[in-house]
Structures are given as structure tokens and as C-alpha cells.
């Protein structure tokens, strides 16, 4: 078996006495869209934060393309091709959409200890930014400050920022959170296009979207992975049913 | 040997004064999230009030008590008139606004009491040295400071850990919303906490006054030391402030007393006497730098903020 | 892009024009005092502009910026005392000393955020103050008189009021120009991004502390230049130039003029120091008015003068 793009081994993270991540092991293959689902408080965001380096695990390891990145700070993981979107939109509010994306491109284009030339006039960076904005359908909003974008537009911009760094692996933390029906549909369409270009780990509550998009699904309950497999397997898994999907309406419709 | 004991006691006494100042600062910061540079002004006002009231009443204890009440009252008025409007603003606003207050207080003192400064004479019964070890006398007044400050520290500890108001204070430090949801008058609580902090600062000021003179700006240098104490101890933590204050008091006092002699043993006498004053005043800042390298959150951070 | 000239730009242009023409006014009216006063204002404006780089653009609230005024000043004073009068040595040493101090203090204090950072920069500046007070060979508490201003081999004569004023003004405008370039450069965007959302910047791949530290050092070095000029201006340097209230003054100038705007700190310095001058003519107890005024500015005047003038000259 070839080395998976992302391999997580026996990851443990506690908060006080609570095991938020309980011996989690995962493998994400190159090219797949791997969804992580689980009820509220299952430790999904905690897991993502450890993958991106915003939170340190107490034990266990994380490998990106075979390389142990468990102790790397967030910015180094990003440099190695790991990009994330935040559950709660986290952009640079006083910058324009184009600036937000261009900065991501800049981060992956050598160091930024350049003090004199106007960065907003660098063709290379601007072109990457335009392409990424175009990809998510925001090109006509490029010069608008983030604080004046709608919530849906901000979610799309999150994606554009992640794309602009040309990642190997995209970690999306609830990209559909807070979106209306039409916006959600747009996002699903966008993700279904993106999954052909990049490996994606998707944390999402919207079950319809998850089962439509995912190649494989891992189910997280109380910090543990109780099942991992293709959507059909997960649907049929007794333990998952009992622990989580027993709640019928969740399977069919969410929110 | 006796000299060492004396300096240790001096360091303890200085550290305890620092604690009184730092405790108020850290309470106000921990609960109201307010950075109050004018805390040093309250320290100064405590000293000026004491000098005035002691001269007026002729009694040191009565004057000191009146001064304590006056500082508390001043704190309450200050909170009500100015600082209340700063809650929820960012820290830079706090710094600038309270910087303005310092300018105001210094100038007001100059206008009222004149630029020269005041003496605060000790009563006879406090001015005598008392024997505490065979052949070793220590000034009664410094001893009194240690006793009073320790008592206040103990009361503060019991008050915060055991009483209902203390529980509210701790709850406020960890959860601002909850305390409001409990239906407690949060404005009143904040005013009281600020008044308490002011009284602690005033107490420190009036107790220090007979040792140094009462003068304009006396609160500023010691305020910066109190900041160092808070950085070392961990912000928002009374216990951290206590331990760090003692540590800073001891290191500063012992350093100034013994460093010149120690240096003389390694350096030539001339260069030792050049380096000693600069170096001994650096000691606590070096300590702070070391703490920052090892534990940027302070040595004894509050468990949850 | 063509933008209409906003009120704040207009003020900036008038400000610069006024500063450039000031010696002419002084010459015509025979008012020497105004030139002396404005030399000091221009130097402190330079210090405020340097503080604005970290505070306004970088979000680093340093309360110890006056330390560089002292370090730059003492570099000039101590070298002069030791018989090294050449400005070509004094000024580079002043800048280098400031940069090294900034590097050390920055690498310690940037481990922390927010209030901690404010208190720590304040404490270290106080340490610098005490060290200077302990320098018995260089005057200790009383300070150090500089008997001869920096000598620039006949290129410029610092003892000539007008020449010295223009040197200071050139330094100020040069620094503002540099800041303008920096702010719009790759580096500047990173630093401003860190102010806006550090977590996001880390997530897209920027090591935060490294960029902040470099910004901190640039700012400190610029302020060291102001310190060297200030020492030459007063022919004197003492620990008092780094007393913490001076750091507070610099912060007030930045806020008053408009944080994160290019000319805000310059305007802030001019207004603050003129106000101080004016109030002290009216009453001996000018701080009695200045103090509450600061409180009111904080409470009601967000964004400073440049902010009030409408569109800020941010980019």
C-alpha cells in the first residue's frame, strides 16, 4: 500500500480531565475527499487544530506525505502544503478580498523580507489571486474589503485563500456553516469541482453534502474514531447507527 | 550575618509593599480587564492624604485610617467618573486615558500641596528599634509594615477564597457573562473592587511615606516595579503576585546591599563601583527577562482566565 | 488609480509645506524661538513616526519607545565625551546601538501579547533609564553635556540653526518616505496582516514573531536617529529623555494624529507640543488641563485628527 498523504497515529489531546482526542488514527489517501463527521462536541475542531498546528497534541504523530510534522508550527505546515479554512470565518477584515488571497500566494513565494517594492503591484501575486478568486466566483468582488462581504462570500473567500497557496491537502472546517440553501448548493458544487484538483479533508454537519461528496467517511464520537469507510459502509454500520445516526433526521436532513 | 538578616527583612518589607500595589492592579485587570496606570497615583494620594491627616489630627493611626478611607473614596469616585467608561475598550485606550490621569494627579498635587513634598514623621512609639534576636534590633516601624501587610494579604486571600463576594470576584475573573446572568449588580461589584484596589495602593503609599518622603511622582517608579511583579507572577493571579512581589523585593534589596561587595571580589575596586549601581538596578529586569524566556505566561499564572 | 484629494491629504501637504517654509518665516520675522521650538518638534515627530510603524501598522503597543531617544543620544554624547566628534561615526553607532537594543528587547517582549507587551516594554525602558542613571563616568543622574555637536566634515554645520533644522526635517521626511514604502511592500503587508489576524497569517504560512521582530528593530533604529538628533539639538543628554512619561508622550502623539496613517504622527507631534507650549503660557499648571483632555480624546476622538478628517491615508 502506498503511503497516504496524511497519516495520523494514536493522537491524544486532553482538556483538563476530558479526552477531546482519544487515540485517533486516520489515513487520508492522495486524491480522495475524506469527510469527518460526528455529533457536536465530538472533537472535530480539536482534531483539525492539531492537524494544522494551532493546538499541540499530548501524544501521537501526524505525517504529511511520510514526513513527521507533529512538532511543526502552523506556518511550517502551511509551507509544506497544508491549507485550512476556519469554522468561524477568519480572514483579514481590513484588507480587500484580493489582498487576502494575494497574501496567501505571497506566503508561498519565498520570504517576505522585501521592504521597498509595492507588493500590490506584483503581477505574479495578483494573477494567482485573480485566478483563485475566479475559481470561487468572486472576481467581481476583488477590491471590496472583507468586512463588507456577505457571510457566504466570506466562506468562498476562505476557500480562495486556501487554494492560492496551492496546497497538497485542504482541511475544510465546516465550510457550509451558516450558509443559506442557495449558498450551500453553490458551495457543494464548488467542492465537487475542487475535489478533482486537490486532496480534501472535510469536516461538516450537512449530511446530505457529506454523503454526496465524500469518497470515505470517518465517524468521530467522544474523541474516538468509531468507524471509517465508504459512505455506503458508514450508512450500514451498526455502531454508527447506534451512536450517532440513530438520530434519523440527521441522516436525511440537517439544519 | 546580622546584616544579612536585616537586609532580608528589608527585602521582605519592600516586597510586601509591592504586593499591596500589585494585588490591586492584578485584581482590577483580572476582573474588569482594565489596565490602570493611575494606580501609582492612588499610591501617591494615599501618602499625601496621610501626611495631611496625621498633621491635622496629631495621631498617626487615626490619620492613617482617615487617609485609607479617603483613598478608597477617591478610587470609587474615579471609577464612577472616568474609568467606568473605559471598560470594554482596548488596552491602548486604558493606557492613554490613565496616563492622562497621572498628569492630572501630579499637577493637582503640585497645586494643592506645592512642589516641595511633605514629611510624614513617625510617632515615638514606632520610631524605636525593637530587639528581635539577641543583640539584633530592627526598626519597629518596618516590623509594623511587615505585620500589617501580611495581615492584609491573609485577609485578601481569605476574602477572595472563602467569602461570597470573593467567589463573585473569582467568577468575574473567569466568566464575565455568568456573573451578570446571576442577577448581581455588576456595576456595583466593579466599583467596589476598584475601591478595594485603590485602598490597597493607598495603604502601600502611606506606609512607605515615613521611610521615603512624600513627593510628586512617588508612585510612578514603584508602579513599574509592580508591573514587573505581575509579569513575573502571572497576570490576574493574587498568589502569583504575592510570591513574585516577595521575590522581587528580596532580590532588589539584597542586590543593592551586597552586589557592590561581591563585584569587588571579582573586579577591580574602581570598575566594581562603576558597574555596581547600574547592575544592581538591572537585577529584577534580568529576572523578568529570564522568566519571559522560560515561562512567558509568568511563574504562577491564574489557573483559568 | 486617481483619487480625489481628501481632507487628510490636503492637511498632510499643508503640513509639509509649512515645515519646509518655517525657516523663511523665522528669518522674515526675526523670531528665532519658533525655529528652535520646531527643530525639537520635528525631531520628536520623527520619533512618533517610528513608533507609529510598530504601533499603528504592526499593532505592537510599545510603551518603551523613549529608550531609543536615550540610546541614540548617549551614543552621540559618550563618543563626544571620549573625543570622537565625527558624525559619520556617532550616527551609525547610535543607529546600531538602537538596533541591537531593539533586537534584544524585541525578542524577549514579543513572546507575549497585549497588556504584557505594554508592561514589559515599559519595564525594559525603565531599566535603560536606571542604567543611564548609574553611568557615573557620563554624568549619572545629572546627564552629560555635549560640548561640540556632531561634525560632518564640513558637509553640513549643525551649529547653524537653519542647516540643523533642515537636516532634521530631511531625516523626518526620509523616514516617512521609508515607512510609506515599507507599509506597501511585501513585508509591510505581512506585518499589517499580523495586526489584523495573527492566527490566519500563521495558517497561510507566515512565521509571526520573525516579521514582528524585524519591524520592531526597524522602528527602534529610526527612533535612535531621533535620539541622536535630539542630543545634538540640546547639546545635552540625560536619563530624563528616556523617562517613561516621554514614551507616553510619543504614544499620545501617534494616537492624537491618527494611528496607522502616514502623516498622522507628524501632525500629532506638532499639535501636542504646540498645545503644551500654549497651555504652559496660559497657566503654570497646564497638565491639569492636558490630562483630562487626553481622557476626552480617548473617549470621544477615536482615529485621531486624521480620522476626523475623514478618509484616512492608510494605503
**CA C239, chain centre distance (Å):** 17
What is the length of chain B? 305
The answer to whether B281 contacts C134, with C-beta atoms less than 8 Å apart, is yes
CB atoms within 10 A of CB A55: 17
Degrees, nearest 5: CA angle B152-B155-B156: 85
What residues are paired with A83 via a beta bridge? A170
Q: Which residues of C touch B240 (CB under 8 A)?
A: none
**What's the pLDDT score for residue A252?**
41
The domain spans of chain A are: 1-81+168-181+199-255, 90-166
- What is the C-alpha separation between B167 and B174, in angstroms, rounded? 11
Element (H, E) at A19: strand A18-28
Of A75, A86, A165, the CB nearest to C207: A75
Closest among B247, B207, B211 to B229, alpha carbons compared:
B247
The answer to whether B278 contacts C248, with C-beta atoms less than 8 Å apart, is no
**CA-to-CA dists, residue A96 to A100, B200, C259, angstroms:** 6, 49, 20
Percent of chain B residues past pLDDT 70, beyond the cut: 93
**CA-to-CA dists, residue C157 to B275, C163, C170, C293, angstroms:** 36, 6, 14, 40
**What's the pLDDT score for residue B171?**
64
Q: Which residues of C touch B105 (CB under 8 A)?
A: 291
- What is the C-alpha separation between A132 and A176, in angstroms, rounded? 19
| Chain segment C85-106, per-residue pLDDT in tens | 999 999 999 999 999 999 999 9
3-state SS, B121-171, equals CCCHHHHCEEEEECCEEEEHHHHHHHHHHHHHHHHHHHHHHHCHHHHHHHH
pLDDT bracket for residue B18 (50, 70, 90): very high
C197 inside 8 A of chain A by CB: yes
Q: Kindly state the cell numbers that stand for C263.
A: 502623516
pTM of the predicted structure, to 2 decimals: 0.89
**Partner C, chain A 210-229, Cβ-Cβ below 8 Å:** none
The domain spans of chain C are: 36-244
Q: Which residues of B touch C255 (CB under 8 A)?
A: 92, 96
Of C186, C204, C208, the CB nearest to A78: C204
- What is the C-alpha separation between C13 and C9, in angstroms, rounded? 6
pLDDT bracket for residue B175 (50, 70, 90): low
Closest among B8, B41, B70, B69 to B252, alpha carbons compared:
B8
Residue scoring higher pLDDT (A251 or C275)? C275
Q: Kindly state the cell numbers that stand for A248.
A: 434519523
Low-confidence ranges of chain A (pLDDT < 70): 1, 244-255
Closest among C264, C282, C266, C243 to C38, alpha carbons compared:
C266
Name the minimum distance, in Å, from the CA of C122 to any CA of chain B: 7
The CATH fold assigned to A1-81+168-181+199-255 is Rossmann fold (3.40.50)
- What is the C-alpha separation between C256 and C60, in angstroms, rounded? 17
Which sign does the torsion angle of CA C156, C160, C161, C162 carry? negative
Q: What is the DSSP string of C222-257?
A: HHHHHHHHHHHHHTEE-GGGGSHHHHHHHHHHHHHH
- What is the C-alpha separation between C124 and B286, in angstroms, rounded? 9
The helix-helix angle for B60-81 and B39-57 (nearest 10°) equals 140
The answer to whether C188 contacts A119, with C-beta atoms less than 8 Å apart, is yes
Check: CB of residue B31 under 8 Å from CB of residue B302.
no
**What's the pLDDT score for residue B110?**
93
3-state SS, C178-199, equals HHHHHHHCHHHHHHHHHHHCHH
In sequence order, the 6+-apart residues with CB closer than 8 A to the CB of C145 are C139, C235, C236
**CA-to-CA dists, residue B281 to A238, B84, C131, angstroms:** 71, 36, 7
Of C185, C205, C214, the CB nearest to A116: C185
Name the minimum distance, in Å, from the CA of B192 to any CA of chain C: 22
Strand bridging mode A169-173 / A199-203: parallel
- What is the C-alpha separation between C28 and C25, in angstroms, rounded? 5
In sequence order, the 6+-apart residues with CB closer than 8 A to the CB of B53 are B62, B63, B64, B66, B67, B70
| Chain segment B228-279, per-residue pLDDT in tens | 999 899 887 888 899 999 999 999 999 988 888 888 888 777 777 777 777 8
**What's the pLDDT score for residue A250?**
45
**What's the pLDDT score for residue C4?**
58
* C182, pLDDT greater than 90: yes
Q: Kindly state the cell numbers that stand for A177.
A: 456553516
- What is the C-alpha separation between B10 and B82, in angstroms, rounded? 37
The answer to whether A114 contacts C186, with C-beta atoms less than 8 Å apart, is yes
Which residue has 509568568 as its cell numbers? B298
| Chain segment C27-60, per-residue pLDDT in tens | 999 999 999 999 999 999 999 999 999 999 999 9
| Chain segment B100-150, per-residue pLDDT in tens | 999 999 999 999 999 988 989 888 888 888 888 888 888 999 999 999 999
**Partner A, chain C 289-308, Cβ-Cβ below 8 Å:** none
- What is the C-alpha separation between C296 and C290, in angstroms, rounded? 10
* C313, pLDDT greater than 80: no
A161 inside 8 A of chain C by CB: yes
**What's the pLDDT score for residue B169?**
67
Percent of chain C residues past pLDDT 90, beyond the cut: 74
Average pLDDT over residues C199-205: 90
| Chain segment C110-163, per-residue pLDDT in tens | 988 888 899 899 999 999 999 998 888 898 889 999 999 999 988 899 999 999
> Which of A1-5, B12-16, B22-26, C159-163 is least confident?
A1-5
Name the minimum distance, in Å, from the CA of A198 to any CA of chain C: 17
Strand bridging mode A216-221 / A224-229: antiparallel
The answer to whether B281 contacts C131, with C-beta atoms less than 8 Å apart, is yes
Q: What DSSP state is assigned to residue C65?
A: T
Provide the ipTM. Answer: 0.86
- What is the C-alpha separation between B252 and B255, in angstroms, rounded? 5
- What is the C-alpha separation between B157 and A166, in angstroms, rounded? 56
Chain C interface test: which of B18, B90, B104 (most C C-beta within 10 Å): B104
Q: Which residues of C touch B91 (CB under 8 A)?
A: 61, 114-115, 118
Look at residue A97 and give its three-state secondary structure: helix
- What is the C-alpha separation between C139 and C70, in angstroms, rounded? 14
Average pLDDT over residues B201-209: 94
Amino acid at each position: 500500500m502506498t503511503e497516504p498523504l496524511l497519516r495520523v497515529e494514536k493522537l491524544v489531546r486532553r482538556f483538563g480531565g476530558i479526552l477531546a482526542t482519544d487515540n485517533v488514527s486516520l489515513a487520508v489517501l492522495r486524491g480522495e475527499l475524506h469527510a469527518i463527521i460526528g455529533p457536536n462536541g465530538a472533537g472535530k475542531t480539536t482534531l483539525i487544530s492539531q492537524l494544522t498546528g494551532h493546538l499541540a497534541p499530548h501524544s501521537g504523530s501526524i505525517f504529511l506525505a511520510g514526513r513527521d510534522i507533529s512538532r511543526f508550527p502552523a506556518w511550517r505546515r502551511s509551507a509544506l502544503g497544508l491549507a485550512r479554512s476556519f469554522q468561524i470565518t477568519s480572514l483579514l477584515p481590513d484588507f480587500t478580498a484580493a489582498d487576502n488571497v494575494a497574501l496567501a500566494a505571497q506566503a508561498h513565494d519565498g520570504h517576505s523580507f522585501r521592504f521597498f517594492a509595492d507588493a500590490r503591484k506584483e503581477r505574479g501575486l495578483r494573477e494567482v489571486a485573480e485566478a483563485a478568486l475566479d475559481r470561487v466566483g468572486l472576481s467581481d468582488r476583488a477590491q471590496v474589503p472583507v468586512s463588507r462581504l456577505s457571510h457566504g462570500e466570506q466562506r468562498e473567500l476562505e476557500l480562495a485563500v486556501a487554494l492560492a497557496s496551492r496546497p497538497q491537502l485542504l482541511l475544510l472546517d465546516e465550510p457550509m456553516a451558516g450558509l443559506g440553501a442557495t449558498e450551500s448548493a453553490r458551495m457543494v458544487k464548488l467542492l465537487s469541482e475542487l475535489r478533482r484538483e486537490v486532496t480534501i479533508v472535510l469536516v461538516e454537519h450537512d449530511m446530505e453534502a457529506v454523503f454526496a461528496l465524500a469518497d470515505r467517511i470517518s465517524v468521530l464520537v467522544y474523541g474516538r474514531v468509531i468507524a471509517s469507510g465508504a459512505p455506503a459502509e458508514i450508512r450500514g454500520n451498526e455502531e454508527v447507527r447506534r451512536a450517532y445516526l440513530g438520530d434519523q433526521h440527521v441522516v436525511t436532513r440537517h439544519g | 550575618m546580622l546584616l544579612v538578616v536585616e537586609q532580608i527583612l528589608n527585602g521582605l518589607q519592600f516586597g510586601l509593599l509591592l504586593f499591596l500595589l500589585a494585588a490591586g492592579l492584578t485584581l482590577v485587570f483580572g476582573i474588569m480587564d482594565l489596565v490602570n496606570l493611575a494606580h501609582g497615583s492612588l499610591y501617591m494620594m494615599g501618602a499625601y492624604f496621610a501626611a495631611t491627616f496625621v498633621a491635622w489630627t496629631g495621631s498617626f493611626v487615626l490619620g492613617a485610617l482617615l487617609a485609607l478611607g479617603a483613598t478608597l473614596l477617591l478610587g470609587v469616585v474615579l471609577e464612577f467618573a472616568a474609568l467606568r467608561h473605559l471598560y470594554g475598550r482596548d488596552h491602548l485606550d486604558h493606557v492613554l486615558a490613565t496616563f492622562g490621569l497621572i498628569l492630572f494627579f501630579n499637577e493637582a498635587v503640585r497645586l494643592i500641596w506645592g512642589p516641595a513634598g511633605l514629611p510624614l514623621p513617625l510617632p515615638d512609639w514606632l520610631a524605636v528599634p525593637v530587639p528581635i534576636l539577641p543583640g539584633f534590633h530592627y526598626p519597629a516601624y518596618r516590623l509594623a509594615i511587615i505585620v500589617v501587610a501580611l495581615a492584609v494579604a491573609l485577609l485578601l486571600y481569605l476574602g477572595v477564597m472563602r467569602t461570597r463576594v470573593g467567589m463573585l470576584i473569582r467568577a468575574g475573573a473567569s466568566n464575565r457573562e455568568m456573573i451578570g446572568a446571576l442577577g448581581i449588580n455588576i456595576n456595583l461589584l466593579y466599583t467596589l473592587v476598584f475601591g478595594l484596589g485603590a485602598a490597597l495602593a493607598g495603604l502601600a503609599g502611606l506606609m512607605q511615606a515615613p521611610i521615603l518622603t512624600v513627593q510628586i511622582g512617588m508612585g510612578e517608579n514603584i508602579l513599574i516595579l509592580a508591573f514587573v511583579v505581575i509579569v513575573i507572577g502571572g497576570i490576574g493571579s493574587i498568589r502569583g503576585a504575592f510570591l513574585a512581589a516577595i521575590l522581587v523585593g528580596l532580590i532588589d534589596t539584597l542586590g543593592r546591599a551586597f552586589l557592590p561587595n561581591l563585584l569587588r571580589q571579582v573586579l577591580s575596586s574602581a570598575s566594581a563601583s562603576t558597574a555596581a549601581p547600574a547592575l544592581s538596578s538591572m537585577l529584577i529586569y534580568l529576572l523578568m527577562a529570564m522568566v519571559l524566556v522560560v515561562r512567558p505566561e509568568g511563574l504562577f499564572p491564574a489557573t483559568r482566565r | 488609480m486617481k483619487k480625489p484629494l481628501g481632507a487628510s491629504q490636503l492637511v498632510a501637504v499643508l503640513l509639509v509645506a509649512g515645515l519646509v517654509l518655517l525657516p523663511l518665516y523665522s528669518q522674515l520675522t526675526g523670531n528665532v524661538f519658533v525655529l528652535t521650538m520646531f527643530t525639537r518638534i520635528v525631531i520628536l515627530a520623527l520619533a512618533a513616526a517610528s513608533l507609529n510603524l510598530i504601533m499603528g501598522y504592526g499593532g505592537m503597543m510599545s510603551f518603551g519607545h523613549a529608550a531609543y531617544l536615550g540610546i541614540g543620544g548617549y551614543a552621540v554624547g559618550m563618543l563626544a565625551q571620549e573625543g570622537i566628534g565625527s558624525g559619520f561615526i556617532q550616527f551609525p553607532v547610535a543607529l546600531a546601538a538602537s538596533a541591537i537594543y531593539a533586537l534584544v528587547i524585541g525578542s524577549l517582549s514579543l513572546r507575549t501579547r497585549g497588556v504584557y507587551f505594554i508592561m514589559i516594554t515599559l519595564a525594559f525602558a525603565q531599566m535603560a533609564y536606571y542604567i543611564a542613571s548609574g553611568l557615573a563616568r557620563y554624568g549619572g543622574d545629572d546627564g552629560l553635556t555635549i560640548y561640540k555637536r556632531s561634525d560632518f566634515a564640513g558637509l553640513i554645520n549643525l551649529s547653524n540653526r537653519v542647516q540643523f533644522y533642515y537636516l532634521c526635517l530631511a531625516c523626518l521626511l526620509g523616514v516617512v518616505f521609508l515607512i510609506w514604502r515599507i507599509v506597501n511592500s511585501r513585508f509591510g503587508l505581512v506585518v499589517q496582516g499580523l495586526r489584523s489576524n495573527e492566527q490566519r497569517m500563521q495558517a497561510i504560512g507566515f512565521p509571526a514573531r520573525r516579521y514582528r521582530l524585524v519591524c520592531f528593530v526597524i522602528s527602534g533604529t529610526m527612533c535612535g536617529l531621533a535620539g541622536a538628533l535630539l542630543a545634538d539639538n540640546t547639546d545635552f543628554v540625560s536619563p530624563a529623555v528616556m523617562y517613561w512619561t516621554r514614551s507616553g508622550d510619543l504614544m499620545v502623539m501617534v494616537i492624537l494624529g491618527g494611528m496607522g496613517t502616514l502623516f498622522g504622527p507628524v501632525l500629532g507631534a506638532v499639535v501636542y507640543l504646540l498645545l503644551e507650549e500654549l497651555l504652559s503660557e496660559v497657566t503654570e499648571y497646564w497638565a491639569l488641563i492636558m490630562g483630562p483632555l487626553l481622557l476626552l480624546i480617548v473617549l470621544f476622538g477615536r482615529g485621531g485628527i486624521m480620522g476626523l478628517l475623514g478618509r484616512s491615508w492608510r494605503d
